[in-house]
Amino acid sequence: MEIDGWAVGSIVRRAGAPFDKSAGVDLLRHAGDSVAAGDPLFAIHSSTTIDLDETRKLAENASCFVIA
């Protein structure tokens, strides 16, 4: 598994960072980890429901992780 830092960065910015200090992404998996279908890869934090919903949509369509 590889992680695309640029894609993760765009998700973090959509969540509100760096201006919203409570916004961000917790990576739940690391490069080289084994994963199975349905495993959560990261958790998104945002201070508003609108930002969280929009960020979730972006994350669902992003290629942050390359799983081989």
Query: What local confidence, expressed as pLDDT, does residue 60 receive?
Result: 87
What the chain holds in terms of domains, given with CATH numbers, is 2-66 (3.90.1170.30)
CA distances from 6 to 22, 48, 62 (A): 20, 23, 10
**Residue pLDDT, tens place only, 11-63:** 999 999 999 999 999 989 887 888 888 888 889 999 999 999 999 999 888 88
Q: What does the alpha-carbon distance between residue 56 and residue 62 come to, in Å, rounded to a whole number?
A: 10
Locus of tokens 């199975």:
36
For residue 45, the cross-strand partners are: 24
pLDDT band at 68; cut points 50, 70, 90:
low
CA distances from 9 to 1, 34, 36, 39, 68 (A): 18, 23, 24, 21, 22
